Structure 1
Amino acid sequence: MKIGEKLLKQLNRKYEPSTMVNATFGRYDVAFKTDEEGNPILLFIGQAGDEGMIKGDHFSRRLVKDGNGVVIKDHWDYKGKV
């Protein structure tokens, strides 16, 4: 699975720092964990079960900044099925 432009637009927003956010995106359930600045860094997308655990795909974000805090690299890596 590939992350589309619409989902990337949603993931580029700032959220509450160091939390797990549950949402829906189209027909998929989405959960993502944010870092201390509020940037999503872990993404789970698929179908949520009765207990809230998502069966689907797992992505991890590589966010590299320089000494001034300017983003040098921002890339989502596919980590497999969950």
Structure 2
Amino acid sequence: MKLKDPILNILKKNYEPSAMIEQKFGRYDLSIKTDIEGRPILLFMGKKDENGFVRGERYARTLKFNSAGSIIKDHWEHKGKATP
């Protein structure tokens, strides 16, 4: 399942550094893990269960930088089911 533009637009924003951000997107619950710069690096997308965990799909972000610190690769990859 490839991520579509509306969700990618949410994931392009910077958030609180080293945090787990939770929000709703349409019928989905999203949990976004950020790195020390506040960039999203993990996404859990699905429905929250009674324990507060998102059951659905898990995505990971690959970020590669050049020597000047500019991003040369930014890619989201589907990692499978999101279950605790």
Answer whether TM exceeds 0.5 for this pair.
Answer: yes
- Shift of the alpha carbon at 1:2? 1.8
What is the percent sequence identity of the aligned residues?
Answer: 46
- Shift of the alpha carbon at 1:21? 0.4
Q: C-alpha separation between the residues in 1 aligned to 2:64 and 2:52?
A: 31
Counterpart position of 1:11: 11
Q: Does 1:66 align with 2:69?
A: no
Q: C-alpha separation between the residues in 1 aligned to 2:70 and 2:37?
A: 13
TM-score (norm. length: structure 2):
0.94
- Shift of the alpha carbon at 1:68? 1.4
Q: C-alpha separation between the residues in 2 aligned to 1:36 and 1:6?
A: 24
Aligned-partner residue type, residue 24 of structure 1: K
Counterpart position of 1:80: 80
Structure 1 runs (4+) greater than 2 angstroms displaced? none
Counterpart position of 1:57: 57
Aligned-partner residue type, residue 9 of structure 1: N
Q: C-alpha separation between the residues in 2 aligned to 1:54 and 1:25?
A: 13
Residues matched between the structures, number: 82
1:40-79 CA distance string (max 9 Å, x none): 0000000001111011000000011112110100000110
Counterpart position of 2:45: 45
**Alignment gaps of 5+ in structure 2:** none
Q: C-alpha separation between the residues in 2 aligned to 1:52 and 1:5?
A: 26
TM-score (norm. length: structure 1):
0.96
SS state at 2:75 partner: strand
